[in-house]
Amino acid sequence: MYADLIWETHKDSSRAETYFDQAVKAAPDDCFVLASYARFLWDAEEEEDGENLSEVPEPSFIHGVSSMPPPLTAAS
């Protein structure tokens, strides 16, 4: 599919989504089209999540203590 090609070569999600929308409208019952679109949505979200993770600051450590709460332990 052309939408797959756009996504795989250019990572242009808005353009690829436009072509996927056209493909789904043209063949709404085509399982190949639907599966390709689903894979694109999955991959595009992972790509977006990866970009967001790189923007999250690392936890700061002050005097060897992290800002994260300690792990829970089992009560005896």
- Answer yes or no: is pLDDT of 20 > 90: yes
What single DSSP character describes residue 65? E
Residue 55 lies in a domain: no
- Within a domain: residue 75? no
Confidence band, pLDDT 50/70/90 cuts, at residue 49? confident
Asked whether residue 17 is assigned to any structural domain, the reply reads yes
Q: Is 60 within a domain?
A: no
Provide mean pLDDT across the span 39-52: 86
- Over residues 42-65, the mean pLDDT reads 71
Separation of alpha carbons 44 and 20, rounded Å:
13
Q: Positive or negative CA dihedral for 24, 33, 40, 2?
A: negative
Helices 2-10 and 13-26, interaxial angle, to 10°?
Answer: 170
Answer whether residue 37 is part of any domain: yes
Reported pTM: 0.63
Is the per-residue pLDDT at 32 higher than 90?
yes
Domain limits for position 24: 2-48
